[in-house]
Amino acid sequence: MNKRGQLVLGILLILLGAWFAMRQQMPALPAWANSYMEYPLNIVAAGAGILLLGILLGNPGMAIPAAIVAGVGGILYYQHTYEDYQSWSFMWALIPGFAGVGNVIAGTLSRSRSQITSGLNAMAVSAVLFIIFAAIFGRLAILGAYAPAIIFVLLGVWLLARGLWRK
């Protein structure tokens, strides 16, 4: 184990020991903490923990799984709060965008311009997929019955413009 990993493990063990000591001294602490860490916010917190662990270990690549875990936690929070479980039929399209957010964070931490660009592209593709599937499943009432047609035409124009711009 390298020095940084040993340092992180030491800090985590100290924090864990402090948590157990505080639970003994203040019996109301677990109930208070549980009120803020109920499902699905604990999944978002797990994503934040993975990101923090990656930063402490000096591994910016950990930002990618951290963003995915936190993003899925956010989707579950939305579905749990609004009892909209059928939204999963198009919400899954956001997961590549979460990976893109992780790439942008990792690229920023490692100063990798190509990783940032890759992350932004993944976020754009994810947003387009999300809009397409939300329109197909009737969740974009703003565009009316022509939503899928409008979205496909706009996507085609965007791809053509992007191809011409690069040349």
DSSP symbols for 17-61: HHHHHHHHH-TTHHHHHHHHS-TTHHHHHHHHHHHHHHHHHT-GG
Indicate the pTM of the whole model. 0.72
Paired tokens of 54:
């990656």
Residues 6+ away with beta carbon under 8 Å from 20: none
**Tens place of pLDDT for every residue, the chain, 167 residues?**
567 667 767 777 787 788 778 877 887 877 777 766 778 888 888 898 888 888 888 888 999 999 999 999 999 988 988 888 888 888 898 999 999 999 999 999 888 888 998 898 898 889 888 887 887 777 776 666 776 777 778 778 877 877 776 65
Residues 6+ away with beta carbon under 8 Å from 108: 116
**Max Cα distance, the chain (Å):** 67
Query: What's the rounded Cα separation, in Å, for the pair 53 and 12?
Result: 10
